[in-house]
């Protein structure tokens, strides 16, 4: 199944008072690593969902997710289907989405634990060319790529982002319904008061 609506658009419909900001790729990389490091340094077993635009971006971070999966069994990694990235259940769940999916233009990371929550929900401002390797102009150009979206530690917003992404995952992998239901009960079952949106 392919999704034409971006996760950011869905999140803004649920939480209309969010104000997207502009980020460069370097900022998103730093924020993502900080969130992952928080998980690796902690003692909790969080829900973690990461979505990569392309397989090559995922490969740069794959070892970090193997380490995170040693801490929790609720790790989901999405990426566009590639020669080495396929849908499977191994150390963690992988979900290969279609090239036509809006996720190919997006960068998402969601972490939900008992005492920590954070989400980074972004989409690229300019469409990613289909022939990524032939049209990009090297590392310097990569770092100037711009994204719009939101980064927050607000638990309510993070829960809503997780809910949207879990629905996307279940659409691609309905056989994970029981596992996703367990994640919903554990991490989304106790709804946070939306009024808390304005406290952080």
pLDDT at 134: 43
Asked if pLDDT for residue 152 goes beyond 90, the answer is yes
Parent domain of 109: 7-199
Judge whether 16 and 105 are in contact, CB under 8 Å. no
Radius of gyration, alpha carbons of the chain = 16
Write down the pTM of the prediction: 0.88
Q: What is the mean pLDDT of the chain?
A: 88
Nearest Cα residue to 35 out of 181, 151, 176, 183 = 151
Report how many domains make up the chain.
1
Would residue 161 count as lying in a domain? yes
Average pLDDT over residues 126-138: 52
pLDDT at 167: 97
CA 99 to mean position of chain CA atoms: 17
Nearest Cα residue to 121 out of 80, 158, 164, 150 = 150
Q: What is the dihedral of CA 82, 85, 87, 89, to 10 degrees?
A: 180
Would residue 35 count as lying in a domain? yes
Would residue 171 count as lying in a domain? yes
Would residue 116 count as lying in a domain? yes
Would residue 1 count as lying in a domain? no
Looking up tokens 């900001």, which residue turns up?
A: 21
What is the distance between the alpha carbons of residues 36 and 186, in angstroms, rounded to a whole number?
A: 20
Would residue 195 count as lying in a domain? yes
Would residue 65 count as lying in a domain? yes
Q: pLDDT by residue (tens digit) across 27-79? A: 999 999 999 999 999 889 999 999 999 899 999 999 999 999 999 999 999 99
3-state SS of 70-134?
CCCCCEEEEEECCCCCCCEECCCEEEEECCCCHHHHEEEEEEECCCCEEEEEEEECCCCCCCHHH
């Amino acid at each position: 199944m392919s999704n034409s609506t971006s996760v950011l658009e869905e999140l803004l419909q649920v939480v209309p008072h969010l104000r997207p900001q502009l980020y460069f790729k370097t900022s998103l990389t730093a924020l993502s690593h900080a969130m992952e490091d928080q998980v690796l340094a902690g003692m909790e077993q969080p829900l973690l969902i990461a979505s990569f635009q392309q397989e090559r971006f995922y490969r740069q971070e794959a070892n970090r997710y193997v380490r995170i999966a040693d801490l929790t069994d609720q790790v989901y990694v999405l990426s566009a289907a590639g020669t080495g990235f396929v849908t499977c259940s191994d150390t963690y769940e992988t979900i290969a989405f279609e090239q036509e999916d809006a996720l190919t233009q997006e960068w998402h990371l969601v972490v939900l634990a008992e005492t920590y929550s954070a989400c980074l929900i972004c989409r690229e401002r300019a469409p990613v060319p289909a022939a990524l390797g032939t049209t990009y102009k090297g590392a310097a150009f990569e770092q100037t790529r711009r994204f719009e979206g939101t980064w927050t530690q607000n638990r309510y917003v993070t829960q809503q982002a997780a809910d949207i992404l879990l629905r996307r995952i279940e659409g691609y992998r309905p056989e994970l319904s029981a596992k996703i239901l367990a994640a919903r009960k554990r991490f989304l079952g106790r709804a946070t008061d939306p009024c808390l949106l304005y406290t952080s």
